[in-house]
Amino acid sequence: MTEISLTATETPAAFPIPTGVFAETVTEVQHYTDRLFRFRITRPASFRFRSGEFVMIGLPNAEKPVYRAYSIASPSWDEEIEFYSIKVPDGPLTEHLQKIREGDTVLMRKKPTGTLVHDALLPGKRVYMFSTGTGIAPFASLIRDPETYEKFDEVILTHTCREIEELTYGENLVRELLEDPLVGEMAAGRLRHYATVTREAYHQTGRITDLMRSGKLFEDLGVPPITPETDRGMICGSMAMLHDTKQALEEFGLVEGSNNKPASFVVERAFVD
Ligand code: A2P
């Protein structure tokens, strides 16, 4: 891996912007914990994406920059692009990315892609968005997209983290969304946020897979158990979480869909190593 040690703030003329890549300016950075942060960059006028998609991002700190897939956390109508990231000690990208400041440059490949999109899901009454950790990012985009509320009567966002402080991004997101003049009215009374932690005492604890299998998730929400007739699912988290949540949904009779063949649930791997 070609990478030299410059801080994220240095953009040496020796490394020109590669072709097929946008060079965008950081507009905001917010750190939540020593493992989590969010940042926003300017949006190129020609950049179009579907809410829920991901894009490859990197830093201009090497001749061959390291790129990683990041879900776009902002909705497709937003003027800026938002990302929510983990900080991996010695991670080839995040080691540098976590140091970015307002005014720095971030590279973004031009082509977004992904399966956590409306096109891959059949319409239904209720959509569940199952996330762990930074896997909430694509749903931060989708729950701010009016199409979500056109397609589904109820939107249930589940977010499970190890510790309570890791829930902050999702809590702020939902609160601010409900105050938003464009989407707030649409989401009111229809967006439910179900947050749990697994390694601390909290009013809701446990892995989402266990809460589904025991039925506690449905009891807490006051909804019937998942059925393929009414319910749809979207999953984003670690590889293990994706595997186990997919299995749980299949036990409820849901079928995995794709862009070419929409069905009742979709899965996305949550970036960054
Ligand atoms: P747990 O604390 O029981 O491992 P991670 O940071 O490892 O990605 O975990 C984020 C959250 O996802 C944690 O609350 C973790 O629970 C949970 N989790 C990890 N693996 C799975 C899995 N296979 N199925 C469901 N939840 C999982």
Cβ of 155 closer than 6 Å to ligand 1, yes or no, is no
Q: Three-class SS of residue 42?
A: strand
Q: Is residue 210 part of a domain?
A: yes
pLDDT above 70 (res 270): no
Among candidate residues 55, 60, 33, the one with its CA nearest the CA of residue 268: 55
pLDDT at 251: 97
Q: Which helix (H) or strand (E) holds 140?
A: helix 137-142
Cβ of 17 closer than 6 Å to ligand 1, yes or no, is no
- Provide the residue range defining the domain that includes 158: 118-267
pLDDT at 269: 62
Q: Are the CB atoms for 68 and 56 separated by under 8 Å?
A: yes
Average pLDDT of the residues in 240-250: 97
pLDDT above 70 (res 2): no
pLDDT at 62: 85
Give the CATH number for residue 213.
3.40.50.80
Domain end position, chosen among 109, 139, 160:
109
CA angle 239, 107, 240 (to 5 degrees): 5
Q: Is residue 143 part of a domain?
A: yes
Average pLDDT of the residues in 237-262: 95
pLDDT at 18: 83
Cβ of 132 closer than 6 Å to ligand 1, yes or no, is yes
Q: Are the CB atoms for 183 and 148 separated by under 8 Å?
A: no
Average pLDDT of the residues in 20-36: 96
Residue with CA nearest ligand 1 atom 1: 198
Please give the torsion angle defined by the CA atoms of residues 8, 164, 270 and 170, in that order, rounded to the nearest 10 degrees: -80
Cβ of 238 closer than 6 Å to ligand 1, yes or no, is yes
Average pLDDT of the residues in 97-106: 97
Q: Is residue 7 part of a domain?
A: no
| Same domain, yes or no: 56 and 132 | no
Q: Strand 54-58's sheet: what is its strand order?
A: 68-71, 54-58, 105-109, 21-31, 36-42, 80-86
Question: How many structural domains is the chain composed of?
Answer: 2
| Same domain, yes or no: 122 and 252 | yes
Domain end position, chosen among 85, 109, 133:
109
By most ligand atoms within 8 Å of CB, the mutation choice from 158, 162, 243 for ligand 1 is: 162
By most ligand atoms within 8 Å of CB, the mutation choice from 198, 200, 247 for ligand 1 is: 198
Cα dihedral across residues 125, 183, 205, 117: positive or negative = positive
| Same domain, yes or no: 94 and 159 | no
Cβ of 53 closer than 6 Å to ligand 1, yes or no, is no
pLDDT digits (tens, 9 = 90+) for 45-71: 999 999 999 999 999 988 889 999 999
Q: Is residue 215 part of a domain?
A: yes
Q: Is residue 137 part of a domain?
A: yes
Cβ of 247 closer than 6 Å to ligand 1, yes or no, is no
State the pTM of this model: 0.93
Cβ of 31 closer than 6 Å to ligand 1, yes or no, is no
Give residue for tokens 């979480």.
241
Percent of the chain at pLDDT > 70 equals 93
CA-243 nearest atom, ligand 1: 23
Strands 36-42 and 80-86, bridge-based pairing: antiparallel
Q: Is residue 199 part of a domain?
A: yes
| Same domain, yes or no: 157 and 237 | yes
**What residue type is assigned to position 145 of the chain?**
D
**Rounded Cα–Cα distance for residues 165 and 22 (Å):** 33
Q: How far, in Å, from the CA of 133 to the mean position of ligand 1?
A: 8
Percentage helix, strand, coil, to 5, in the chain?
25, 30, 45
Instruction: Kindly tell me the burial class for residue 204, based on how many C-beta atoms sit within 10 Å of its own C-beta (0-12, 13-18, 19 or more).
Output: middle
**What residue type is assigned to position 133 of the chain?**
G
Domain end position, chosen among 109, 135, 151:
109
Q: Is residue 261 part of a domain?
A: yes
**Rounded Cα–Cα distance for residues 255 and 120 (Å):** 11
| Same domain, yes or no: 139 and 244 | yes
Cβ of 200 closer than 6 Å to ligand 1, yes or no, is no
By most ligand atoms within 8 Å of CB, the mutation choice from 134, 194, 241 for ligand 1 is: 241
Among candidate residues 57, 55, 54, the one with its CA nearest the CA of residue 18: 57
| Same domain, yes or no: 56 and 140 | no
